[in-house]
Amino acid sequence: MNILQTKSLKKIYGTGETAVHALDGVDFTVEKGEFVAIVGMSGSGKSTLLHMLGGLDRPTEGSVTVDGKNIFSLKDEELTVFRRRKIGFVFQNYNLVPVLNVYENVVLPIQLDGNVPDDTYINNIIATLGLESKLQSLPNNLSGGQQQRVAIARALASKPAIILADEPTGNLDSKTSQDVLSLLKVTSQKFSQTIVMITHNEEIAQLADRIIRIEDGKIVGGDKA
């Protein structure tokens, strides 16, 4: 079952001779429960693609379907709600709220939606990511690797249709990167969570189920890792 699909996705910045085709007709699908890495060099279009997949920016042409919904058929306010409920994000810079402790950061998206956290599920995530002893800690008292684990827990907490990870180990050393990526893969399998990860790092990409390559705004290959 496809949980994510793009069709003829284009993003053009500027006009005429100076126009930049950041995405130039991108077509691919991701199945439910799949862990996919999108690999490309700087300027290849991978970050632009992630922004489109997450509804953070609108395309010039084409569509993105998440969990059966063409997200760009939604008005801005509707898209914001859909994104909060259906898409989890893990960013390179963690994006934790500094005045909230670990537990409060993890359940924040659920509470913003007016819902009550599923404590059994949340505790399972926290235990899987080894954060049990850090629940009352503020982000600035955590290491980079611990902060990224909190970000992963937050992304998982609302049981989204898909998690989008943007260079999730970009600010971490190599050992911590491996640890965090291993946990991301474990959580993907344990919670049957679909994950699409953007990276320029081939070694990190090998942990995914499938690698999709992007160059100059176009998909140039996809293979089994």
Q: Mind listing the pLDDT tens digit for each residue in 184-221?
A: 898 889 889 999 999 988 888 998 999 999 999 999 97
pLDDT category at 172 given cuts 50, 70, 90 is confident
For the chain, the structural domain boundaries read: 2-224
CATH number attached to the domain at 2-224: 3.40.50.300
Asked if residue 225 has pLDDT above 60, the reply is no
Burial of 193: CB neighbours in 10 Å, binned 0-12, 13-18, 19+: buried
- Sheet with 69-70: strands ordered across: 20-31, 2-13, 61-66, 69-70
Distance (Å, whole) CA 22 – CA 45? 5
Asked if residue 130 has pLDDT above 70, the reply is yes
For 52, the token pair is 């489109």
* pLDDT value, residue 106: 96
Residue ranges of E strands in 82-161? 87-90
Give the whole-number percent of the chain exceeding pLDDT 70.
98
DSSP states of 48-89 as a string? HHHHHHTTSS--SEEEEEETTEEGGGS-HHHHHHHHHHHEEE
Residue 102 in 3-state DSSP?
Answer: helix
Give the whole-number percent of the chain exceeding pLDDT 90.
74
pTM: 0.91
* pLDDT average, residue stretch 10-38: 93
What burial letters (b/e) apply to 135-166, b meaning 16+ CB within 10 Å?
eebbbeebebbbbbbbbbbbbbbbebbbbbbb
Average pLDDT over all residues of the chain: 92
Asked if residue 37 has pLDDT above 50, the reply is yes
pLDDT category at 68 given cuts 50, 70, 90 is very high
